[in-house]
Structure 1
Amino acid sequence: MTADDRLVLLHADGTTGSAALGAAPSFSRPTTPLASRTAYAAAHVVPKPWAENVPGAPADIDWDATLAFRRHVWSWGLGVADAMDTAQRNMGLDARATRELITRSAAEAKAAGGALVVGVNTDHVDDEVISLDAVIDAYVEQLQFTEDAGAGVVLMASRHLARAASSASDYERVYRSVLERASTPVVLHWLGAAFDPVLAGYFGSTDSATAGETVLRIIGENADRVSGIKMSLLDAGAEIALRSRLPETARMFTGDDFNYVGLIAGDERGHSDALLGAFAALAPTASAAIQALDAGDTGRYREVLGPTEELSRQIFAAPTFYYKTGVAFLSWLNGHQASFTMIGGLHAARSLPHLSEIVRLANASGALERPELAAGRWHALLRLNGVEA
């Protein structure tokens, strides 16, 4: 291999190896809307490289790059799920920046004709512990702002609710009160403790089956106001069990970044749609895979998307809540942002060997959209850190 067609890889012990640089993927953008599955990519935000994006500082976002990334996702036929945990909610994206992101993304979606849902939470409230009534008020405030902006709603899991609730009935009360204020059906969001440890025991139990009963009661009682649920427990069995019991009016959106290939493919009993942070890093591949399903070619679907699951497992490796670093890293490698920086300094949350494994798996699975650019940027990062490349 020559220097132009190899990737230098960094191992955990500091030694280096190499791999042949793969070819750019030959996927084509869809000419008609994707039909067999509904898929949203949970998009990240891009900061200004020169801004004071350090831990604790207000987010200073490069809006041109951030919105261009959303247009990239829409161009592949996927929807965008915005202002969610991938956009660093509760990890650097402050309330002011969240509102501006929602407003700007809603306007951009309207102009581009792209599908958009955004997260509604209670995170603009500074106090860690508030009453259930205050949780309801906080949810409704964000709900009304989001609806006024013209975006669809994902009702996110709330840290405030996790702290305030003492029983499943508390969750039912809060969701009932918030959902009755929604003017259009919303998607619920069940985020597991791997993504946010504060949310352990959400919906009233650490046992997923018991908590699932609460979810089913909430959806059943509010069937005309709930269009589906995004489930992010990294437990395929729990997702399939709940999916099989959902009413016909509610879709299951997988948020399982470890097992999405089989969950989206489904079986004779049904399938999951998708709302995935992984798809922000894999928009062309995800689109090509769903296009294959649209054509009835399940084999091609698995051939295209299957190899990306190992890559996603690396991006979402424990501690899982730092997966956002891998998403932004791949965005940089693929030329969607000028620098590998994140709000709150979160680009420092993963080690060079961890990033090296992302490079290796992205190369092997066809997730490097511009391989030569990616190799050049990766090798420059290695040299910056004293590694010969």
Structure 2
Amino acid sequence: MLKIDTYTKYIYQLCQMAGIYIHIPFCKQACHYCDFHFSTSPQYKDELVQSLVAEIGLQKSYLNGETIETIYFGGGTPSVLAADEIHLLINTITELHTAASNAEITLEANPDDLDAAKIKALRQTDVNRLSIGIQSFFDEDLVWMNRAHRAKESEAAVKRAQDAGFENITADLIYGYPLLTDTKWKHNLDKMFELNIPHISAYSMTVEPETALAAFISKKKQPPMNEQQSAAQFMVLMQAMTDHGFEHYEISNFCRPGHYSRHNSNYWQGVKYLGIGPSAHSYNGETRQWNIANNAKYTKAITTGKIPAETETLTEENRLNEYIMTSIRTMWGLDLNRLNGIAKGSADELMTSADEYFDKEWVTQKDNTLFLTPTGKLYADHIAAGLFF
């Protein structure tokens, strides 16, 4: 179990903040595994950016005046935006909200977008953290995924960003797919360490319905994913990260001390956030809201001054289950006192459900907090579902 020192506790407290997420629904091409909302046609990008600006205004009261500590451009591929469009969106937020002086502002980017001119332009904006979608350092894997970039572009993009002064960088990798041998997986990890990237997110390849990958597998054009391969590569991942001084602070996320994703930690700690753009989700502690996942309908509604969203009022059971689902995945664990704060007596009921996971040594306890063991992290979703009310 990870020791939580004074500095880590400080970072944990820092994560108690409000955030804004902006969904940029455009990509150059469709990755075979992706089921996020996006369009490969940039035809109406200008109109959509103006709609994002308008929605920020329409939603200005959602967070009840709380200070904005994080802004996150996700997608899609936000790096398809021009620097002046990014600047416009950030300025709109800071004009309508109080933003912290040290706010974390993250832009997701593909390596092929990060040429010298783009990096230079981004340095003129308030973006201070880059999330680079590398996925693999092998061209054959990138072709298999239908990624738009190649391996050499990844390494060049990271170095270019670092040379320009971007120190706060995270990069994504994917494991558990047929082409990825254990030797290649270790090479991908070693390359990340060699590039001195302080935050790494690594995801097991999952087959989502209605994706190209799902269609290929159903037609037997591709083999199904191998759960044993994924589990073995996850164990290699955890050991390699530990060996290189990274903290495993969430199932898929690792960082050097002090380099947590403050924005994503909002989600895992149940902090309020506002989502802007088609398909974006919002949460204010009492309700959850999600925008329509259709660019044309989204833009049309915003133009008429309406927010095209559905809203759900969270029940006590919803809040209990959401806290279980997010907290058990983190190094901070599931706090039984916080659970009782949501519903008195819920901790005792949960502990009864947790008996089998203690017996299997998938879960351990320190004081009033439950943590996943390294083996338990292989079954995080299964354990969370088993603890639900």
**Pairwise TM-score range, normalised by the shorter structure:** 0.3 to 0.5
- Alignment TM-score, normalising by the size of structure 2: 0.43
| Greater fraction strand | 2
Higher relative contact order (CA 8 A, sep 6+): 1
| Greater fraction helix | 1
